[in-house]
Amino acid sequence: MASFEWFVSLRYLRAKRKQKFISLITIISILGVAVGVLALIVVLSVYTGFTEGLRDQIIGVNAHALVQRYGMTIADPEAVTTKIEAVAGVEATTPYIYAQALISSATQSTGVVLRGIDAASSMRVLSIGQKMVAGQLTDLDRPSEVPAIVLGRDMARQLQVGIGDRVRLISPNGPLSPMGVLPKVRICVVAGIFATGMFEYDSTMGYINLDTARSLTDLRRGVHGIEVRVKNIDLADRTASAIQQALGADYSVRDWMQLNQNLFAALKLEKLGIFIALDLIILVAALNIISALIMMVMEKNRDIAILKSMGATTRAIMRIFFHQGMVIGFAGTTLGVAGGLGLCALLKRYKIIELPSNVYPMSTMPIKVVPLDVTVIAVSAILITLIATLYPSWKASQIRPAEVLSYE
């Protein structure tokens, strides 16, 4: 019986002279499903690539996990570092001191977020050393009469300074006098310029060594926190929990997902919204499938009545038209998946679409094909098309041979 139902279904799908319009709607339905699947695969691949690129930029500058002590500084960073590095999954650590100051050159001035770091250990934790466009990050620790500073490219451009130029750092954390709080002032020489590709970092951040940071703050010893690099960033939350257990309740340990929770939650919600919106293309194609099958049922009233008179059951008639919708859905989904993966491979290999570097953290259109996304897209397309065939199939099964053949 199954072979009989498939035989009739495929026979009905073949074009005949008086059914060309129905066949045209069928082709449009297949193309509609294919375009919807193709668009979903390409757009979600681009969105995933952009999200991962943004994630890599953010966690490259801010490390994978951050360890701080509640209400106070970490007075003995060496001992804390030893405990952290003993935790499974931890790759490297580096201390830091946070400060804010006013930075000025001979012509311009602006605010700056200062990070006091140990250049040697930070090279193993942060990717900022790989993003230097002039100078080296390790120049921060070279002995010199004038302390060194590494600035973002946009900040250096705003201050109109380059390698070897001097800038003035003014911190409000100064001693109290009869005239009020006296600001602390340090002269630094620009030893390097970095470019992360993200304007928020390149225009606001500067790196100095730990001693210079202490001289600008009230911190005489210790550090504000310790940055941690883990071996597997996807398991950063588990590693952070293990570090928390090792250090105790006096410390706060936050992984990169917690530090940027709002941003990535918004990106995840946008991805879901895009998926739902583009699924409407497949839904429109499903409506075409419904109309094509209903028109075919109307055209084949006499054939259905004859088949029922010859012994075909109601379920067999339903399966005949259900199989037609199944063929349309699978054909459209297969074409869409093949086209989407092919277009993604083409865009990834030849980098046809370029992005403005001053706006986006990457220079070309990012592509990241996730097998799970492709599977969900394909399954959802097939389910939508199969659901669309239920009503026409049921309508065909309700035809009564006596009523149809009595007019013949």
pLDDT of 230-267, one tens digit each? Answer: 999 889 999 999 999 999 989 999 999 888 888 888 88
What are the start-end ranges of the H helices in 14-97? 20-62, 77-85
Query: Which residues have CB under 8 Å from 296's CB, separation 6+?
Result: 12, 19, 22, 321, 324, 392
Query: Which residues have CB under 8 Å from 99's CB, separation 6+?
Result: 113, 114, 116, 171, 173, 213, 216, 217
Q: Which residues in the chain come in under a pLDDT of 50?
A: 17
Q: Which pLDDT does position 17 carry in this prediction?
A: 46
pTM comes to: 0.75
Q: Which pLDDT does position 101 carry in this prediction?
A: 92
Q: Is the dihedral angle over the CA atoms 157, 153, 358, 104 positive or is it negative?
A: negative
Q: Which pLDDT does position 92 carry in this prediction?
A: 94
Listed residue (388, 405, 182) closest to 294, CA to CA:
388
Q: What tokens appear for 192 in the block?
A: 């390097």
Q: Which pLDDT does position 355 carry in this prediction?
A: 74
Q: Which pLDDT does position 359 carry in this prediction?
A: 66
Identify any residues that bridge with 192 across adjacent strands, giving them in sequence order.
Answer: 135, 150
Q: Which pLDDT does position 2 carry in this prediction?
A: 56
Query: Tens digits of per-residue pLDDT, 61-112?
Result: 888 999 999 888 898 999 999 999 999 999 999 999 998 999 999 889 999 9
Task: Specify the DSSP class assigned to residue 223.
Answer: B
In angstroms, rounded to a whole number, what is the distance separating the alpha carbons of residues 44 and 365?
12
